[in-house]
A and B are shown apart, each in its own frame.
Chain A
Amino acid sequence: MTDTAPQAPLMGDPSPEGRFGQFGGRFVPETLVPACQELEKAFRSAWGDPEFRAELHDLLTNYAGRPSPVTEAKRLGDELGYRVLLKREDLNHTGSHKINNVLGQALLAKRMGKTRLIAETGAGQHGVATATAAALFGMDCIVYMGEVDIKRQELNVFRMNLLGAEVVPAMSGSRTLKDAVNEAMRDWVAKVEDSYYCLGSAMGPHPYPWMVRTFHEVIGAEAREQCAALLDGGVPDVVTACVGGGSNAIGIFSGFADTDAELVGVEPAGGAAVGRKVPGVVHGSKSYLMQDEVGQVLEAESISAGLDYPGVGPEHAHLADIGRARYEPVTDAEVVEAFQLMSRTEGIIPALEPAHALAWMMRDREALAGKTVLLNLSGRGDKDVAQMMDVLRND
């Protein structure tokens, strides 16, 4: 890239208004503005407090099991014709990257004196992580989940109940993640005084996109060091991750934004907000948004409940806008292939979400020949096994 005018460091803090370039902001009802302001203040103070950082570090290490390893995927690499490294977020407690953000936010909620956590969930991984943190800290927890997702992620619903959380079906609209976010925001508007909205991705009103990214930066920071050890001090040629709201991707991208590594986000073809490049405003921020010609938000369609979302976090829109990252769509059929390939070659059953990134790697194998690709394996596939049993049986 050519340098022109001096500019803010790549993936630095957003502007005081919460903007990443032209995206982001705080598009929420007046009722929630003071809550967002209070949260921003609390987060700034906590992140600058060594005691908070130490407590979070201790939880990530001794409770969640960090650091997660980077695994050299030899047989998968042989199959694809290039070198493949996996950042193993699937090995975290609760089975995905979501726990990084949730432990940070739950600790913050406790510090703010809140006693009740609200969460939305798609695949159920963020809901499970939030229910887990609520159990750990002795807080009440309510999780909104689309009725469609409750059916396809039954196991996670049961897990949340076991952990003591209440799971409430979102019955409006597409009955998936988008509608769960609507319900969570409605709850927050009504209970803003004692409740904390533990948002599950790098989206929503300022400071969420920035705060959630910050809590996931640990993925990128660890991976940077681990790759350096494996690559003689170098960095991978390509860093790739699936993108729903974009939290796992933004976390791993943050570790490589200042390098030559190519950053590739992978979206489901039926939920490709960045791919369509139409800006819009929903759920608190301005970003790319799947919508019709008058501005009604479209329903995403994806085999993976965690990526079944018509929007995307604002920093991804910005990274796409300035050309620092690119975003590729993959089909459900390609994802099913990828899901099986990783299981067969590496003995790792991936979640359907990161299988999207692998699906792109399979499709573009020729262009990637000879390169080293780091894939953020954001979660394990246990939650998807029942659904895949149906899919593969009907084949």
Chain B
Amino acid sequence: MTDLPVGPFEAALRARIDGGGKCLVPYITGGLNDQWLDVLRAVADAGADAIEVGIPFSDPVMDGPTIQEANDRALEGGATPQSILNDLRNADVGVPLAVMTYYNIAFRAGDTRFASDLAAAGVSGAILPDLPLEETGPWADAADEAGIETILLAAPTAPDERLPIICERSRGFVYGVGLLGITGVRESLAESAMSIAGRLKAVTDKPVLVGVGVGTPEQAVQVSSVSDGVVVGSAIVNRMLNGSPESVGELVGEFREALDAAVRQP
């Protein structure tokens, strides 16, 4: 594979890392309600380096109860991939965005068409959790063509020889899956989060972020001692389901502060 230029998503993360900091990428559910763009802005203003926007899918097999509920509410409220992308087109939040959805949404539109729709909406990256390495080719090629960074996941179950291949194909960052299981807040950080972070850092120079099961600022700090940062999903979405845009911003601010404080301490 020829080397592709570093895209805006990866550039934003690298800027944080090069400054000695840890990356924070919150996940929010697109189209959840009328206020979702306010949430997006609040999250950006509170110190997110980039944001993952979920496009709801009818059958989210990687997601736990919190994101499922947000997903269902968004769908019931009439959110569609197009309505979410239309909203994003006009939302200039100042940080790069990636969408996270399931492959059928892209496949139904057509890989090329979906990739160019993302680009037209100002989106920089895409995460498709049901598209593993072996199946990612046609989509990722179309995405490259459109300038969309395809972020691949790397799971704790992967044997050592699989990780460098995933890292090689992944763009934006490499998404280390923190635990065996679906999205959701857990009482404590799984051991597998630390170990996948370490295994990935050993084989790639790309940014390594860990998500799934990172639900508190303490857990974010803990895993970021090895990784370059975190993706925080269910904790944010839970606040989105139950609180105001400002309160989501406050929560993101707590993660930001904790991550910053941890790197200030020697």
Contacts and interface: CB of A to CB of B under 8 A. Distances in A.
Contacts of B159: 34
A293 B103 CA distance: 14
B57 A30 contact: no
Query: Most chain-A Cβ atoms within 10 A of its Cβ — which of B68, B103, B135, B162?
Result: B135
B59 A29 contact: no
A280 B104 contact: yes
Given A29-B130, A192-B157, A281 B180 contact: no
A287 to B, nearest CB: 11
Given A29-B155, A31-B155, A281-B107, A296 B180 contact: no
A190 interface: yes
A370 interface: no
A30 B177 contact: yes
A29 B68 contact: no
B103 A291 contact: no
A58 B60 CA distance: 40
Interface string B47-67: 000000000011111101000
Query: Most chain-A Cβ atoms within 10 A of its Cβ — which of B58, B129, B157?
Result: B58
A186 B64 CA distance: 8
Interface stretch (A20-28, A60-68, A95-103, A340-348): A20-28
Interface string A159-189: 0000000000000110000110010011001
Contacts of B72: 172
A26 B61 contact: no
Given A25-B135, A172-B68, A172-B72, A30 B155 contact: yes
B58 A297 contact: yes
B264 interface: no
A34 B105 contact: no
Nearest to B154: A30
B80 interface: yes
Query: Most chain-A Cβ atoms within 10 A of its Cβ — which of B59, B75, B131, B182?
Result: B59
A191 B180 CA distance: 7
B61 A185 contact: yes
A17 B134 CA distance: 8
Interface string A289-312: 101011111000000000000000
A79 interface: no
Given A281-B103, A282-B59, A31 B156 contact: yes
Contact of B59 (A30, A173, A279): A173
A51 to B, nearest CB: 28
Interface string B117-156: 0000000000001111111000000000000000011111
State which size class the interface on A falls in.
Answer: 35 or more
B105 A294 contact: yes
A189 B68 contact: no
A193 interface: yes
Contact of B129 (A29, A192, A294): A29
Contact of A28 (B132, B156, B180): B132
Given A31-B157, A182-B59, A297-B59, A280 B134 contact: no
Contacts of A391: none
B81 interface: yes
Contact of B62 (A34, A189, A293): A189
A336 interface: no
Nearest to B181: A190
Contacts of A283: 59, 61
B87 to A, nearest CB: 15
Given A31-B156, A33-B134, A297 B180 contact: no
A42 interface: no
A30 B158 contact: yes
B133 A30 contact: yes
A291 B130 contact: no
B58 A29 contact: no
A296 B132 contact: no
B105 A190 contact: no
Contact of B82 (A33, A182, A294): A294
Interface of B: 57-62, 64, 68, 72, 75, 80-82, 103-109, 129-135, 152-159, 162, 166, 177, 180-182
Interface of A: 17, 25-35, 172-173, 178-179, 182, 185-186, 189-193, 279-284, 286, 289, 291, 293-297
18 contacts: A26-B132, A29-B62, A29-B130, A31-B180, A33-B158, A33-B162, A34-B158, A179-B59, A189-B62, A190-B180, A282-B104, A283-B59, A289-B104, A293-B108, A294-B105, A295-B57, A296-B57, A297-B58
Nearest 5 Cβ contacts at the A-B interface = A295-B108, A190-B181, A31-B155, A30-B155, A296-B58
